[in-house]
Structure 1
Amino acid sequence: MTLVTNHPLLDPFNTDDQYISIYLGQEHATLRDSIAFDRIIKTAESTGRPSYDMSTKTHGIRFHFRQSQGITALGAFRIGVEYEGESHYTSTIVLMHNATITPEQTTLTAHLGETVTILFNTDMMTDTLKWRFNGDLIYGSKGKQSLTLENIQMDKAGLYKCFIQSHRWDADQQAIQLLHIIKCPAYRWGADCEQDCPECLNGGRCDADSGECVCPPGFSGTTCDQVLGSNRFGQNGSFSCDTSGDDHSLACRGKLFCLPDPFGCTCAAGFMGIDCTRECARGRYGANCLQECHCGPTNICKKDTGECMDGTTCADDWTGVNCQVRGSPSLDTGDDEVITDIATTSLYAPIADTTLAPIPVTTIDTIPASTTETTQPVPSFEISSFQYSRVNHGNPTTFICVVKASPSPPALESISVTYTVNGQLTIIPRLNSTANETTRTSWYQATVRLDEMPKNFTCLFRGPDEMILASQDLAVYVFEPPNFNEANILVRESTSQSITIRWSAWNGNYDYGDGPVIGYHVYYNTNGQSDLVRASQNIISNTTYHITGLVHDRQYDIRVTALREGEGGEGSYSSPITKRTSCIAPSTAPVLSLRGQTQSSISLSWEVIYDYFIYSYN
C-alpha cells in the first residue's frame, strides 16, 4: 500500500486539488473495501477527520479534501487495512504552506538503539517554543529547536509537535513530524532480530518481519536494484503519476509518497524538500535526493535513477546499472587467474528491463540472392538523451537532444523538437547541431512561461519517409519568481525628505515561488498615482533601505520585491505601506508683516511663506 499526498503543504484558499490517494497492488485491490481513514490524535483544532469527497479507483480510493474545510485538513493522518487477520497502517503528514516553524522532513525512520535528533527550523525567538509528544507536553523542552533521543526504544515512536507558546493550535505557528522506529537494529531482521538483512540498494529498507527490501519510489526488485524513474512508484513500479508513458516525466513533482509504517514518507525519485518540489543537486539522486552518484570523473548522473550521463561510466570500484554495487565483477577460473568484467556473470550483471531502457530499432534490408554470403551492417538508433535548462518565467530555455545511430550519425533534418497546444503542432527553432562518428547533438530554444507549465516537448527522430521512428517526451518547468506572502514593511524613521523602512526577508517555507533570493528592490509612488519609482538601481542585499529625495508633507506608497538570479527573476510587488513625510518648520514661528512693503522690498521666498502658513495652521 502506498499513500500519495498531493500538495503536502496546505494552502486552503488557493488549492482545490488537495487529496490523499491510496494505491493497492493488483493482488490486494479487493482490500479497498476495508480501508479505514482517520486522524492521528488531535493535530488540528478538530479531533475528527476533515470533510472530504471519496472516489473509488481501480487501484484504491482517493480522499479529496474540500476547499471549504480550511485548516482542518492540516495534520497527521493514517490509513489502515485488514489483511490476513492483521492490521497494516500507512501514515502521512499535511503541513501549512506558510508555517513559521517547519520540520527538516515530514517523517523520520530510525532503528532500535540508534541516536535520533528531531530538528525544527524557525526564524522566531526560540524562547517561545514548546514541544509535545503524542499530545503530552515534553518537560524541559521549552526554547529548544531540536531534541536528541539516545538509545531509542519503541515507546518513543509517534508524533512530535513543536509550537509557539500560547499558539498551540494556530495552523501557521506549529510543525509536526512522525518518528517511526524499526524494531530491530540496522541490517537485522526476524522474530528475535537474528537474521542478516540483504543489501537494499537505492535507499531501500529491510523489512524487520520478512527480511525483504521495501523500495522507495522510482525503484523495484528484490534488492531495489531495478531503476524505474521519477514517474514510477509502488513496490513493483506498477503506478505512474501521469499517462504519458515517460518513466522520467516530472509529473510526480510536488507529491509525497508514504509506504507502510515504519518505512515513512519520501518525495518521488529526483526530488526533495518538505513540499517535494526541489530537484536533486549535482552528485545526488533518488527519493529525497539521499543517494550519492558514483559516476566517472564529473560525477554527473540522472537525478531520478543515478544512471551515468554524457557518456561517463562508473567510478573505480563501482559497477551495476547505476553504479551502486561495490567492486568490479570477476570470475574465478580456479587456477589463480581472474577474468574481470565478464558480462555473463549473473551475480553482477544488471537486470534488464526492456520496458524502461531505450530500445534500438533495427531494420534489415532485403539482400539479393547471391552465391557469396555478405555480412551487412545492421542499422540501429536511439534517442539517448533529451534535456533542458530550467529558467525563470518568460525566458528562453535551451533543449539538447542527443541521437545515437549506427553505422553513421543521423542526418540533421531527421531530428526535430516540437510541442503541441490545443492540437496545434509547433516546431522549435534549431540553434546548432554537431556530429561525431555515431552521435548527433542538436540544440533548440523556446520561451517558456509559468502559466503554460508544465509544457510537454518532444524530440522526434524520423526516417527518410517521414515516419517517426523514435521519440522522447520532456515535461518542462520554470522557476517561479519569489513573491511575498506578507513582507511586513515597517517604517523605522521619517523626515521631510526621506523614509527608512525595514521588511521581512523572503522565506521559502511560507512565501511563494522559488529561491534562492539574491536581494530586493524598493519602489515608491505618490499616494493616488500609478507611476512607480525604483528607489535604487542596484540590488539591495539586506532588508533595510533609506529612501531619499522625497517631498515634504506628501503621502507615499512603498512596496518591496524579491529577486532570484537571472533575467525575469523579480517577483511581484508586496502589499504597500503608506507613510507621509513630515513638514518643514522653523524652530520658532517667524513674525511677518507685509503691510507697507513694496513688492521690491519683499525678500521672502514663496517656500518660506508657505512654511509660515503651514506652521501657523499646525
Structure 2
Amino acid sequence: MFGADCLQECHCTDGADCDDVTGECSGDCSQGWSGSACQVPSVCPNGYFGTNCTQKCNCRNGTPCLKDSGYCDEVEGQCDLGYFTDSLEFPSNCMTFSGCFSSCSKTCHCFGGVEDCNFLTGDCLSSTCHPRWMRDQCQTDRFETSFEKTNPGVAIFSCSFTASPGQNFPSEYVKAAAGKSTTEPWMIRISSDTSGTTLNYSFIHEYTGPEEPIYCFVAVPESSSEFAFVTLPPRDFFVLPSYNGAPELLEFGYYYAAIGWRQWDPSSDTGDGPIVGYKIYVRSGSNVVLAKEVQPPSMVNNTDRSVSKRSAENATEMVMYNVSGLEAGSTYSVQIAAIRDGINGEGEQGPALTFTSRQVSIPSSSPPQSNSTGGPSGSTATVVGSSVGAIVVIVIVIVLIIIFYKRKSDKSASTRSKGKESDSSPQYENPVFDPSKTDVHTYQDMNTDPHTYQDLSTDAKTYANLTDTQTYEDLKKPDQEANYEELNDPMKRDYVNVPGI
C-alpha cells in the first residue's frame, strides 16, 4: 500500500512492494496495469477512457466507451443529453457540454454554447446555431454519413452536408481526414454531386497500422463561425480468409516446378468469402523470388497458360501454376494465400511446401572412390565405364570418317593423274615401243591411223623440245647412248618381223 493513509494499492510484478509515497515499482507492473505508478488498468472503469483512464465518456444512458478514442460504441456514438462531439483532440468523444433545455430532454446547439441557450425553450440568444446544426432550435444535423463494409485497411464512406437556404458552397467544400489532422493531403474523393442544397461526397481511404477515427468537415478550425465536423462510427470489416491447405508438388525439373493446391473451403478454412483468387509465394531462403496472383480455374482466361485444370471433374477443387526460372539444385519454399473480393482482400499465407529442383550432373575429375573390396564403387564404375565407352565409339567414328575421305581423295588423285598422262604423251602409251610388248597388230593399227601420225609429226612444241641443246647434249652422254642402242636392237627386230616390210 502507498499514498496518504496508505489507502492505495500497489500493482507490482509478483506482489513486490512499491514506493510508499509515489507507488512506483522497482520492476514491472503486474498484468493488467500500466502507468508510472502502475495505477492505470488495461480496461478503464465504466464511464472513463484515455491513457490514464482520466477522461469521462459522457455516453447516452451512462454506457461505457472505447478506451483509446472515447467513442460510445454501444449506443452508436450518441452522447448523453447536454453533450456533443466538438473537440478535434478527441473527435469521437462527447467532451463538450453545450447545455440542455425542456427539462434537459434535449441538447442545446447554439453558437455561443451553454450561455447562449435558453434552458426552457432552447432558443439561441444570439439567434445563431452552431455551424453543424440548423432549423428550429438548432436540432437538425447538417451532416449525414454512411460507410461500406470493407476489408481491413480500407474505408469507403460517404458524407453529405446540407446548406441553409441561400448559402452557396464551392464543390470541394466538404473534406475528409483521419486522426487529428485537418491539413492536406485529404482523403481521395471518388465521387460528388449536388441535390438541391445538399452536397454529396464519397471517399476512399487506404491505410496501414491501427485504425484511426475518420471524420468529414467543412471550412477550417480557424474559422469558428463555419467550421464543423462529424465523426464516422467505427467501421465494420470482413474477416480476411485464412488458407490452411498445403500446396502439392505435382512435377518438377531442373528449372521449373508445377505446383497445385485445393481451393479455399469455408468448412475447413476461416474468414469471409467470396474468394476471387490466390497468391503464390516462392522463396529461396528469406528472399521472395515470385509473388504472383492466380485466379481460380473457373475465372481463368483461356489465353492464360500458366494456370490449368487437372480435369473437368476437379476443376473447382484444384488450382495449378507452373513456376519457371528456377535454378538447378536449389531449395525453395511455396506458400499460398487466399484473396477475397475487394481492396486489400489478401489473407494470411498457409503452410509451406519445401522442395529442391533437380541437380545438373557434372562429371567428376577426382579419382573414383573405392568400395570395401578395394575396387571402385558400383555407381562410380558405371559412370566411368559409360564415359570410356562413349569416347571409344567417338574415336572409331572419327577414324572411319578419315579413312573414307582418304580413300576417296586417293582415288580422285589417281584418276586425275592418268588423265593427265594420257593427254600429254599419248604416243608413248603404244605398246610398240615397249620391248616387252611387241604386238604386230598394234603396230599396224598405228601405221594405219593417220591422226596419230599427224599428231606425231606436227607437234612443233614436242619437236622444239627434242632439238633443245641441253637435251641433245644430255643424249650424247655415254650411258644414254648405250640405252639408246639397247632400245634400237629390239625395235629393229620387231620391225623385221612385221609382215609386208
TM-score tier after normalising by the smaller chain length:
0.3 to 0.5
Structure number, greater radius of gyration: 2
Question: When the two structures are superposed, what TM-score results if normalisation uses the length of structure 2?
Answer: 0.39
**Per residue, is there more helix in 1 or in 2?**
2
**Per residue, is there more strand in 1 or in 2?**
1
